Amino acid sequence: MDIKNLEKIANNLVSPGKGILAADESNGTMSKRLESVGIEPTEENRRKYRVNLFSSKNYEKAISGVILYDETIRQKMDDGVDIPTALKERGVYPGIKVDTGTKELEGSFGEKITEGLDGLSKRCKEYFEMGARFTKWRAVISIDEDNPSERCIKANAESLAKYARICQEEGLVPIIEPEVLMDGTHSAEKCMEVTSKVLDITFAECEKNGVYLPGALLKPNMIISGKNNNNQIDRNRVAEMTIQCLTENVPKEIPGIVFLSGGQSDQDATAHLDIMNKMNKEYPWELSYSYGRALQASALKEWAVGTPESSQNAFIKRAEMNHRARYGKWELELE
């Protein structure tokens, strides 16, 4: 394990003003998103849409890395250059989603376990050769009357830790993503309780498995009420509760926290990050972003009804807004 290089990459991914573009939607998910805006969901259209994003001017000002899907990392730009090479030429790290999706946790009430440990080391070797320098693995934890169970949290935490260790052994920085879903009617307090437990158990498993925390990143949810709860907390309270949760449960050795947007609106995702970075606190870790929809939703709509350039402009605008939020310098008037 080359710990110095892992540290260097992890810190570069959360450089001041920068965050990560999550463009790792599975073929099925990306096809659904194309269909939702009236575009035929073909492999070539998936490539064209993403290549258009990766061709945007100066996006590297706000984007340090791009998480790719297996199909995408093997594709080429319009000029024939491999996508990972094109990203590296812009000073952007190529990343790769390495989990293989979720299945129902046996004996549970609809809970999920993420798969992908089988053959992971071999896949990591291949992705490294293709240019990837960081990875992502997503676990999903749902909240309802029966869930989450201790067994579900523990099983997913064990998998996240094993994944992280394997990736580090192969020279790849792991992004550890234990997502507590927004779906449901639960309160923000319940979200905080569950997220705290998930983070605590996940890092305990990381310690057991010898994960080198200075060479890893955390991709958590923010503390938000379930989307079907009528009592939504305001943006300031989201930021305060999220910081409290992270301060109590995330080791200071982690160099950066790259939030997922998790179904938040574009502006909410940006505003929450901005408030956290405006708060008068000396955090032990960088607070950044690893957004998918919150960076891409407007760009996808423009790609369907506008021009390639207008789609790029929409993407660049969201990237710029989050770049500012990294410094706590976003304002609503900028929108």
Q: Return the active site residues.
A: 219
CA dist., res. 232 & res. 325, Å (int)? 22
Q: Which residue has 């659904």 as its token pair?
A: 32
CB contact set of 110 (below 8 Å; sequence gap of 6+): 104, 142, 147
Where does the chain show beta strands of DSSP type E? 19-22, 63-68, 93-97, 102-104, 112-114, 134-141, 173-180, 217-218, 256-259, 286-291
Amino acid in the structure at residue 190: K
Yes or no: say if 288 and 324 are a contact pair by the CB < 8 Å rule.
no
37 φ, ψ (degrees, to nearest 5): -110, 15
CA dist., res. 232 & res. 299, Å (int)? 28
Identify the H or E element spanning 240.
helix 235-249
